[in-house]
Homo-oligomer: A and B are copies of this chain.
Amino acid sequence: MKIDAIDLFYLSMPEVTTDADGSQDALLVRVQVGPHVGWGECEASPLTCIASYVCPMSHGACRPVRESVLGRTLDEPADIARIGAELRFNSMDLLQAPHTFSGIEIALWDALGKRLGEPVYRLLGYKQGAAKLAYASQLFGEAPAETERRARAAREAGFHAVKFGWVNFGRGTVAEDEAHIEAARAGMGAGGKLLIDAGQIFGSDVAAAAKRLPGLARGGAVWLEEPFLADALEAYGALSRQSKQVRMAGGEGCHSAAMARNLIDFGGVGFVQIDTGRIGGIGPAKEIADYAVARGVTFVNHTFTSHLALSASLQPYAGLADHQIAEYPFAPRSLATDITVNHILPDADGLIRLPEAPGLGMTVNAAGLRRYLQDVEIAVAGSILYRTPALSD
């Protein structure tokens, strides 16, 4: 069957703040493959992705994303890999392309799963999905008391693992950071898993990051996430070698499988966190799940948005029972919740499971999303290259 249509929808909350909260807008993708509809989501700047999808070609290695996808054949998983390889070559000089293609690739898997009547994870070769331990992913409070309150709320909501990140971490003194770590531990109790996300705050300053290691160890943190810029491999490697107890986590910034392999091989991370909405989709993420297994590294999803994105992000390691921890957006904006009709909810033990349904197993709530839909129009030299299409199922 042919990929007949690809539609991009820019959705946004009425107000977007400078919070490090990726659930404030979304780029939703709908593909039509014969009679089958698939949905995906980019974790990326919507307007920039739309432009990279429709832009005029600059030269043979800087072609718009649509040129490598629209009209192509989709009958089996190998077709998606082939389209991805073609896109990487045709758009190698179009930097935004992997972010844009990610949501399209996810939608292709959803459509293919629906066509073949299988959940995506089975198309990836897993016989069954394993339960994952959801961690409540949230931002630090401004003050330690607020961090403690949020940790307690997550525990009371049934989570056995909590991650705090961003806000003031790494911006003030070491003692201030340690007070937040202690507060988080106090709020969640002795038994829970505590994860800390530095949000790239140390740039490539290994010494500054290393000063936080003793406090992280005392607080029993499982990992220190993204201490550095996404491609600061030398700094990652140096800090990994210094840290005895707390392992490094990173990878959400990876926009290719090669970049994630580099973070494992040269950055020495213990946890590789992949966002299927950025790395180029589910296929490259599965490649990294396999690579992580081979290298003794733990694969973790990165998801801070909708349950459509959550399902996509869990598929690549669905069958890896030993890679149990999973990021779960704890308090997203209403847009992220409203993207799907159904949701992936933690059970009493804080475990989540993928839907046993074809494709991604999520039903997009097209009618309910219209209030978030942003009208976009892009014109070049008098031709309209993009105009927001009608949002329907």
Contact = CB atoms under 8 A, between A and B. Distances in A.
A57 interface: yes
A22 B59 contact: yes
Contact of A99 (B20, B95, B255): B95
B204 A231 contact: no
A355 B229 CA distance: 36
Interface string A197-211: 001100110000000
Contact of A98 (B46, B51, B92, B95): B95
A137 to B, nearest CB: 14
A92 B200 contact: yes
Contacts of A203: 85
Contacts of A348: none
Contact of A56 (B16, B20, B60): B16
A48 B61 CA distance: 15
Contacts of A89: 200
Contacts of A265: 233-234, 266
A310 interface: no
B92 A253 contact: yes
A93 B265 CA distance: 23
Given A62-B22, A92-B200, A12 B229 contact: no
Interface stretch (A128-136, A181-189, A242-250, A377-385): A377-385
A238 to B, nearest CB: 12
Contacts of A57: 16, 18
B231 A95 contact: no
A230 B231 CA distance: 13
A262 to B, nearest CB: 5
B376 A379 contact: yes
Contacts of A379: 375-378
A200 B256 CA distance: 15
Interface string A244-271: 0000000001011011011001100000
A184 to B, nearest CB: 21
A334 interface: no
Q: Which of A43, A62, A266 has the most CB of B within 10 A?
A: A62
A25 interface: yes
Contact of A96 (B24, B48, B204): B48
A47 interface: yes
A142 B150 CA distance: 65
Contacts of A380: 10, 47, 374-376
B377 A377 contact: yes
B22 A46 contact: no
B19 A45 contact: no
Given A48-B52, A92-B253, A230-B92, A25 B58 contact: yes
Given A258-B229, A262-B233, A16 B59 contact: yes
A342 to B, nearest CB: 25
Contacts of A230: 92
Interface string A84-102: 0100110011111011000
Interface of A: 10, 12, 16-22, 24-25, 43-48, 50-52, 54-64, 85, 88-89, 92-96, 98-99, 199-200, 203-204, 229-234, 253, 255-256, 258-259, 261-262, 265-266, 278, 374-382, 385
30 contacts: A16-B59, A18-B57, A19-B59, A20-B59, A22-B58, A44-B62, A45-B51, A45-B55, A45-B58, A47-B54, A48-B95, A48-B96, A50-B51, A51-B51, A61-B199, A85-B203, A89-B200, A92-B229, A92-B230, A95-B96, A95-B255, A229-B258, A231-B262, A232-B258, A262-B262, A375-B379, A375-B381, A376-B378, A376-B381, A378-B379
